[in-house]
């Protein structure tokens, strides 16, 4: 796999904007990083697109630009020259380009200020955002069962969402259907159950695809903390100390037991 200037630019972008996924990618084999960094860079670009402007139309246009680029990859057409799109075109199959198109499409929710309609709406958002990102990154590396990946992705997505609650509320969003202590504990419990369900089917994730799941190395700790101390969600105090983070990632990468 080519680790050229474009991939290096993707890595630098991820390092600046998404240090957790950067560290997870750096724990993967070198060849895998050339696959993961462009996908994670797409995540950075798409995730921030709705927040860099107050104009909904401009935000829509930014997201549509990425959907158009992914369509070019899916159709095998001439792909636009771009430091993220170009390396993406080398690592995505037409099917995975379609999976990431779902990911971009669901991020339109970030543009508006409406709350989630119901639990199904929230679950679909998590599934098509983090879940689809996990599916694309894992299957770009090797064989992996999509149901297992989406269970894992849901758990990671909820853990990341709970960590983001203070910032989302500061931006005027209503991020939870039930922000009470009981509601937070129930959501975290559901996500933890899906993480455990995914782990019970580890055999359905090939060794080649496994490094993509390093990105969820903090999920279990965050979800357990949210269950035990749900009031910490509002204060943004869910992430373990730095030394615990490093040891957890080392154990995950060393054992391969995501």
DSSP state of 107: G
* 100 plus 135 within the same structural domain: no
Question: What are the distances in angstroms from CA 75 to CA 43, 57, 69, 106?
Answer: 21, 26, 10, 21
Does residue 213 contact residue 249 with C-beta atoms inside 8 Å? no
What was the pLDDT predicted at 229? 96
Q: Are residues 107 and 121 in the same domain?
A: no
DSSP 14-25: HHHH-HHHHHHH
Give the predicted TM-score (pTM) of the model: 0.94
Out of 96, 112, 128, pick the residue that ends a domain. 112
Choosing from 83, 112, 141, the residue where a domain stops is: 112
Q: Are residues 66 and 125 in the same domain?
A: no
CA 205 vs. chain centroid, Å, equals 18
Instruction: Determine the Cα–Cα distance for residues 26 and 187; give it in Å rounded to an integer.
Output: 30
Q: Which domain holds residue 124?
A: 117-258
Give the pLDDT of residue 206. 98
Residues constituting the chain = 258
Task: Give me the pLDDT at residue 245, please.
Answer: 86
**Residue 123: predicted pLDDT:** 98
Q: Which residues contact 184 (CB under 8 A, 6 or more apart)?
A: 162, 176, 178, 226, 230, 233
- Residue 162 and residue 215 in one domain: yes
Report the CATH number at residue 201. Answer: 1.10.600.10
Are residues 89 and 177 part of one domain? no
Consecutive sets of 10 residues in the chain, 258 residues long: mean pLDDT of each?
88 97 96 97 95 89 96 92 96 97 95 92 98 98 98 98 95 93 98 98 97 96 96 90 87 87
Say if residue 135 is in the same domain as residue 203: yes
Q: Could you tell me if 15 and 55 lie in one domain?
A: yes
């Amino acid at each position: 796999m080519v680790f050229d200037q474009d991939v290096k630019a993707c890595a630098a972008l991820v390092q600046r904007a998404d240090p957790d996924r950067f560290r997870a990618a750096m724990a993967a084999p070198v060849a895998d990083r050339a696959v993961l960094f462009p996908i994670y860079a797409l995540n950075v670009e798409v995730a921030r697109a709705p927040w860099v402007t107050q104009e909904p139309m401009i935000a829509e246009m930014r997201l549509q630009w990425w959907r158009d680029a992914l369509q070019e990859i899916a159709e095998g057409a001439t792909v636009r020259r771009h430091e993220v799109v170009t390396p993406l075109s080398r690592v995505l199959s037409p099917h995975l380009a379609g999976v990431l198109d779902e990911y971009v499409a669901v991020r339109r929710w970030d543009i508006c200020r409406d709350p989630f309609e119901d639990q199904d709406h929230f679950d679909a958002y998590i599934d098509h955002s983090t879940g689809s990102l996990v599916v694309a990154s894992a299957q770009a590396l090797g064989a992996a069962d999509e149901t297992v990946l989406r269970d894992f992705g849901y758990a990671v997505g909820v853990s990341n969402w709970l960590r983001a609650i203070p910032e989302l509320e500061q931006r005027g969003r209503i991020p939870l259907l039930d922000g009470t202590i009981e509601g937070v504990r129930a959501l975290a419990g559901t996500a933890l159950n899906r993480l455990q369900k995914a782990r019970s089917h580890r055999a359905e994730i090939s060794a080649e695809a496994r490094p993509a799941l390093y990105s969820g190395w903090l999920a279990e700790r965050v979800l357990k903390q949210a269950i035990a101390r749900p009031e910490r969600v509002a204060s943004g105090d869910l992430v373990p100390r730095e030394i615990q983070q490093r040891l957890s990632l080392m154990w995950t990468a060393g054992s391969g037991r995501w």
